[in-house]
Amino acid sequence: MLDFDFNPEEKVLTCFFKGRLDTVLSTQLALELESKFQSLSENADKESFLDFSLVFDVKDVSFISSSFIRLCVAGNKRVKEGSFSILNSDPFIMKTFKIAGLDGILNVK
């Protein structure tokens, strides 16, 4: 599913995803992520909140759907340019982002 780690000193929100991120699960994850953004924005001034980095860790993910890719694009739009990344993607997931032409834009590693 989804776990969060927010480091306020470094201004980094890391989201740890697990399992098969199909359409149904990705829709639920989008709601959880939005709730987390809302919570963080309420506890910080707007200017500093816009200055954080967002990391999606997909180490424990075996499959992604187009809905999850849409979630990644939406996450990328929430932060400043260059402040979003996807870490620990296996070759299959990396290939999916490459085929979509998003591996560079979303900083997939």
Q: Check which CATH number belongs to the domain holding 66 and give it.
A: 3.30.750.24
Q: Cα–Cα distance between 73 and 101 in angstroms, integer? A: 12
Phi then psi dihedrals of residue 100, to 5 deg: -75, -10
Residue 109 lies in a domain: no
Give me the number of domains the chain comprises: 1
Residue 56 lies in a domain: yes
Q: Which domain holds residue 22?
A: 2-99
Span 6-36, pLDDT tens digits: 998 999 999 999 999 999 999 999 999 999 9
Residue 105 lies in a domain: no
Residue 1 has pLDDT above 90, yes or no: no
Residue 44 lies in a domain: yes
On the 0-12 / 13-18 / 19+ scale of CB atoms within 10 A, 13 is buried
Predicted TM-score of the model (pTM): 0.93
Q: Which helix (H) or strand (E) holds 41?
A: helix 23-42
Residue 107 lies in a domain: no
Cα-based distances in Å from 34 to 40, 71, 75: 10, 10, 9
